[in-house]
Each structure stands twice: as C-alpha cells, then as structure tokens.
Amino acid sequence: MNKFIDHTLLKATATAEDVIKLCKEAIQYEFMSVCVNPAFIATAKQALIHSDVLVCTVIGFPLGANTMESKWNEAIDAIQNGADELDMVLNIGKLKEHDYNYLTEEIKGVVAIARGRIVKVILETCYLSDEEKIEACHCAAIAGAHFVKTSTGFGTGGATLEDVRLMRANVPSEMGVKASGGVRSLEDAKKFIAAGANRIGTSGGVAIMSNLTHKEGY
C-alpha cells in the first residue's frame, strides 16, 4: 500500500517545518513520494536525500488557467530545483472549448521538459462531463503523459470511484491513474486501487498506514 501513496501537503499555510515533517513521515512509511508546492521542492529534496522517496510538485496549480508557456517555465524551474515528478493541471477552459490541439501541445511541452520524469495530468473531474473527462484522457495519452489524475483537492469535489473507472478505461494500460482529493482512510484507498488507481494522492497517508498496521500487521 505504501508505494501507492503520494504523501501530500499543498496548503497555502504550509511552512518549511511542515514540509520537513511530511518528509520524515514519508521516510518512515516508505511512501512513493511527497507532493509539495514548488517553493518547497529544494527543502523536500534535502530532507529526503538519504531515502528513495521521490519529490513531486505541482504545475499550473490549482486552476490550470496559466499560459502554456508559464507552465513550461514552471516545469523547468521545478526540475532545476530537484523535482522527480510533475503533477500539472490542464487548462480546463480550453477543454470546455474543445481545443484539444492546445491541450495536447501544453502537455507535450511539459513532458518534453520532464525528460523521462513522471508527468501526471490533473483533470479536475468535478468540473467536467464524462465526455470531457474522456477527451482529456485522450489528450494526455497522445501527449505522452504518464498518468491522469482526478483532482487538485481544491475544486468543488475530489476523486470518485466512477471517475477512476472511467479514466482507467480511457487511457492505455501502460498509463497510470491517480486518485486524489478525499482519500483519507484505508478502506477508501483499497476501493480506489480496486477501481484502477495506481497512485493515491492524500494528506492522510499516515492514518492509512497506521490503520493498515493495526489491521494487517504491516
């Protein structure tokens, strides 16, 4: 279970001390990554220097309404600061306009800058119809992204099992699906993984693992 979890802290009020605590927890439970805002990439990288926990950060967060050039510059800066994975918010307005060429170019640019590092595309499913979710998945796949992700955690809703199943069905088998937003318990995590999620973005990783330890002797 632990390697499914991106241990997440994206609150505006987060401090360096909070991020270091997050990293210590990630080391203790051997999570896949910590996910932090760009200002804390270097802090997290240093705190994780003797571990195999990755540093994930966000691009175009949380609205996705930045220009594609600004997202590309964010990606460059993030990698220079030590990011291992990039979770980018696609341009939701362009998706609603059916401007799929724009979306594909935007994502392709981030993927190219990442140079093999994992890129996850956040759809913010709470704002989308099923048709829009499917088209977003197709754009992410065409552009070479490695994952599609449900939510930022800052929209009007988070991950749902239905959305994870829909996304899983509309990306190639080699692509991942990340469920994020509202996954706080071991039972939740297990349900999302069964629905097709390969990664769980949550601030509740410690609670999930503590529950697993209690129930299954982890």
- To the nearest whole number, what is the mean pLDDT of the chain? 96
Tally of domains within the chain = 1
First to last CA, the chain: 10
Just list the catalytic residues. Answer: 87, 149, 178
Residue 203: the pLDDT is 95
Provide CB contacts within 8 A for 108, sequence distance 6+.
143, 144
CATH label of the domain that carries residue 199: 3.20.20.70
Residue 213: the pLDDT is 56
- The parts of the chain modelled with pLDDT lower than 50 are 214-218
Residue 214: the pLDDT is 47
Q: What is the span of the domain harbouring residue 131?
A: 2-216
